[in-house]
Amino acid sequence: MSDDREKLKALLLSEEMAQIEALRKLWSDNQLLSAKISEVLGQAADLTIAKDPSFQKKFSKIDSKSYVKAIKANKEMFIDTLTPIMGPMIRRSVTSAIRRLSSDINRAIELGFSAKALKWRWLAFRTGVPFTEIVFNNTIEYQVQQIFLIDNNTGLLIQHAGHEESLLQDKDAFSAMLTAIQDFVKESVTNEGQSLTAAELGDSLVWLVPGNRANIAVVIKGAPTQRLHNTFIQATENIHIEFHHEIADEKLWNNNPELKVELEKLLLTKTQSDPENEKKKSNFGLWLFLFLLLSLLSWAVWSTYKEHQLHKRITTQLNQTPGFILSDLEHKEDEFIASGLQDPLTDFSHLDEKVTIKGTPFISLDDDIIKLRIEKILDEPNIIVQVKDQMVTLQGAVNKTQAVNQRITFASMLPGISRLTDLSTQYPVLETWESYIQSNPIPNGIEAKKVNDTIHLSGASTQQNFDELINKVKKFGKIDSTAVEVFSINELEQLITKIPMNIINTTALNLQQTGRLDEIALTFKKMLIIRRDAKIQLTAQSDCQGPALISNTNSQSRLSLVQSYLTAKGINNKNITTNIMKCTTDTGQKDHSKIVVKFEVIQ
C-alpha cells in the first residue's frame, strides 16, 4: 500500500517536487542565489523607487564612521587630495566676502549721502514712516521673511526659518493658529476639498502651500510673483522626498539642522534691480543695438549697391559716348569725375547724372564725330552727310557756289576720312520767298518772316504741320523756330476732358473751379489755332436725389455758370455746346461725386 502511494505521489507531484528540489539547491548555493537575484535586482529597485521615492535615500546614506576611520588611517593621502581643492575654494570664499563687503560699503554710502537717500530720509521725517520701511518699498520688490513647516495632522511646528529681525516670539502658537484657521475654512466656509491658500497679516502676505504630510506657511513682505509661488510648490515636493523620515519622526521636529538649512535657502529677496529685470533691460538694449546695427549695415550695403549700379551705368554711358575714351571714373563728395580723351565735339547731354569731365583734347575718328565735324564745316542744311567706316557720302540738293565746293574739298582732307563721295546736286533757282508765301499759305497758328537769309517762325502748331513746313521752307535759308510751340491735339483733348468738374453750388464758382476753367480755356484756345471749327461740349449730370425738375434746373444753372465763365475768358459761344443728362425719377440717394460738369471736344 505504501509503495502504491509513493508511486501515485511520484506521478502526480513529480514536477512540483522537482521544482522544490531546485529551489532548495538554489537557496543552499550562495553563488547561484546571488546570480539569480542580480538578474532582477535592478528592475525591483526601479519599481520600489517609483512607488516610494524616499527609498532612494537608502542607497545614498553615508556611514560617517567609515570615513573617519579612512581619514585617520591615510591622513597624508587625504591632505594631498584636498589641497588642490581647498585652495581655490578659500580664494573664492575670500573674494566673495570682499565683494559683499564692498557692496555693503557702497550701499551704506549711497543710503547715507546720496540725493536719493536724503530724499527718503526727508520723506520718513515728514510722514513718520520709518526710514528702513521707505528704503524697503523703494528697493525691494518682495522678501520672504519667515517659513514654517507645519504637520498636517497635529498642527505642530516641524521646522522654522526666518530673518533675525523679523522672527516671531511664539512660532508654535503661530503654526497652531494657521492650522485652526485652515480647519475652520475647510469645515465652515469653503466646499469640501478646498482650503485656505493665502492671507494678509498686517502689511505682509501669508502663503500656505499644502503637502502630503506637512504644509509650508510663508510670510512675505512686498509683491511676490507667480514664479515665486511655483518655487514654493516645487520646494514642498522636494522636502517631502528628501526629508520623508524626518517629517514623520516627531523626535526630530525643531531639531533638524539639515531641514533648517533647506528652509533657509527659500528665504529669498528680490530687489527692484534684480538680474532678472536687468536682463530684460539689457536684452532690450541688446535687441535695440542689434536692430540699429542691422539697419546701419543694411543701409550701408544698399548705399554701396546703389553707388555701384550708378557707377556702372555712368561708365557704360561714357564708354558709348562718341568722341570720348574713358580712362578713370571717380566718385567724390556726391560728384562723379571722369578722366579720359575728349574730342571738342563730344556731347555729354545724354548722361543721367552730373559728371565733371577732365578730358585731354584729341581728334576722335568715330563716325558720329566725323559726321558732326563735316556738318559744322559745310554749314549747309540741305546737304545730307552719311559716314560709315570712315567713308563719307554727301547727298541732297544745294546751290553749289565756289565757297560750298571749297568747303567740300576741305572736308575730304580731314583726319579719319578714307574716302569722300559727293553725290549732292545743284538745285535749280526756285521761286522767291514772297511768291512762295502767296501760293503756299502758312498753316494756321504760325507766322513766318524772312530777314536776310534766315526765316523766323513763331506761334503754335502740331508736330506734323511743323515738320511739313520746315521741309518746304528750308530751301529758302536758315530757319529759326525757337518761338514755335509744338503740341499734340490728342494731348490737348486729354487736358480738357481728363477730369469732370464737381460743382455743388449753383450760384457761384470757388477758387479751385475757376483755376480749372482757366486751364481748360487756355488749352481750348490753343486747339482753336489749329482747328478753328472745334467745339467744346459741356454736359451737366446730377445725382437725381429729390424731385427731377429741381435736379434738372440745378444742372442747367451749373451749365450756365461754366459757359459764362468760358465766354468771359474769350471763347466764343458758337464754339460751346451744352447738354443735360436729365433726371426722370428720384433716386433717393445723395452722391456728390455724381454732381459734375463734363467737358468733351467735338468737331
Q: What is the pLDDT of residues 274-283, one digit of tens each?
A: 444 444 444 6
User: pTM for the full model?
Assistant: 0.31
Cell for 482?
Answer: 525757337
Report the half-sphere exposure of 296 (CA within 13 A, side-chain side).
Answer: 6
Q: Output 517 or 22, whichever has higher pLDDT.
A: 517
Mean pLDDT, to the nearest integer, of 372-392?
A: 85
- Of 18-22, 174-178, 375-379, 560-564, the poorest mean pLDDT is in 174-178
**Measured on CA atoms in the order 218, 221, 223, 224, is the torsion positive or negative?**
negative
Phi, psi torsion values for 220, nearest 5 degrees: -125, 140
Residue 278's pLDDT is 47
Q: How far is CA 168 from CA 142, 174, 201, 256, 260, in A?
A: 19, 8, 13, 19, 16
DSSP letter at 476 equals: G
Q: How far is CA 181 from CA 176, 197, 219, in A?
A: 9, 11, 16
Predicted confidence band at 110 (pLDDT cuts at 50, 70, 90)?
low
**Residues 191, 70: Cα–Cα separation, whole Å:** 59
Q: Is 581 left (phi over 0), alpha (psi -120 to 50) or beta?
A: beta
Q: What is the residue extent of each domain of the chain? A: 77-127, 140-271, 367-426, 433-487, 492-602
**Residues 142, 220: Cα–Cα separation, whole Å:** 7
Mean pLDDT score of the chain:
77
Q: How far is CA 320 from CA 325, 355, 357, 565, in A?
A: 9, 15, 15, 54
Q: Would you call 356 helix, strand, or coil by DSSP?
A: strand
**Residues 120, 137: Cα–Cα separation, whole Å:** 10
Mean pLDDT, to the nearest integer, of 189-202?
A: 65
Q: Are 249 and 215 in contact (CB under 8 A)?
A: no
Long-range contacts of 14-21 (CB under 8 A, 24+ apart): none
Mean pLDDT, to the nearest integer, of 144-154?
A: 81
| Beta bridge partner(s), residue 328 | 339
Q: Are 117 and 107 in contact (CB under 8 A)?
A: no
Q: Would you call 196 helix, strand, or coil by DSSP?
A: coil
Q: Which amino acid type is present at position 156?
A: L
Phi, psi torsion values for 545, nearest 5 degrees: -95, 115
Q: Highest-confidence range of 108-122, 208-222, 562-576, by mean pLDDT?
A: 562-576
Mean pLDDT, to the nearest integer, of 198-219?
A: 79
Cell for 418?
Answer: 578714307
Q: Are 461 and 445 in contact (CB under 8 A)?
A: yes
Q: How many CB atoms lie within 10 A of CB 468?
A: 13
**Residues 542, 539: Cα–Cα separation, whole Å:** 10
**Residues 227, 234: Cα–Cα separation, whole Å:** 11
Q: Are 372 and 356 in contact (CB under 8 A)?
A: no
**Residues 223, 266: Cα–Cα separation, whole Å:** 16
Q: Would you call 215 helix, strand, or coil by DSSP?
A: strand
H, E, C per residue of 400-464: CCHHHHHHHHHHHCCCCCCEEEECCEECCCCCCHHHHHHHCCCCCCEEEEEECCEEEEEEEEEHH
Residues in Cβ contact with 436 at an 8 Å cutoff, skipping those fewer than 6 apart: 430, 473, 476
CA dihedral 18, 20, 23, 28 (to 10 degrees): -100
Residue 107 clears pLDDT 70, i.e. is over it:
no
**Domain range 367-426, its CATH number among 3.40.50.720, 3.30.420.40, 3.30.70.1770, 3.40.50.261:** 3.30.70.1770
Q: How many CB atoms lie within 10 A of CB 345?
A: 18
Cell for 193?
Answer: 476639498
DSSP letter at 359 equals: E
| Beta bridge partner(s), residue 217 | 148, 208
Mean pLDDT, to the nearest integer, of 516-536?
A: 84
Mean pLDDT, to the nearest integer, of 368-378?
A: 85
**Residues 193, 173: Cα–Cα separation, whole Å:** 25
Query: Domain 140-271 is of which CATH architecture?
Result: 2-Layer Sandwich (3.30)
**Residues 291, 297: Cα–Cα separation, whole Å:** 10
Residue 191's pLDDT is 56
Predicted confidence band at 524 (pLDDT cuts at 50, 70, 90)?
confident
Q: How far is CA 402 from CA 30, 405, 407, 454, in A?
A: 142, 5, 9, 21
- CA–chain centroid gap for 31, Å, is 74
CATH superfamily of 492-602: OmpA-like domain (3.30.1330.60)
**Residues 336, 355: Cα–Cα separation, whole Å:** 5
**Residues 303, 297: Cα–Cα separation, whole Å:** 10
pLDDT digits (tens, 9 = 90+) for 120-133: 677 777 777 676 66
**Residues 578, 537: Cα–Cα separation, whole Å:** 6
**Residues 496, 492: Cα–Cα separation, whole Å:** 6
Mean pLDDT, to the nearest integer, of 137-158?
A: 77
Residue 114's pLDDT is 63
Q: Would you call 504 helix, strand, or coil by DSSP?
A: coil
Element of type H or E holding 390: none
Q: Are 131 and 124 in contact (CB under 8 A)?
A: yes
pLDDT digits (tens, 9 = 90+) for 56-69: 555 555 555 666 66
Mean pLDDT, to the nearest integer, of 90-114?
A: 57
Which residues in 197-323 belong to E strands, given as ranges? 198-201, 204-209, 214-222, 269-271
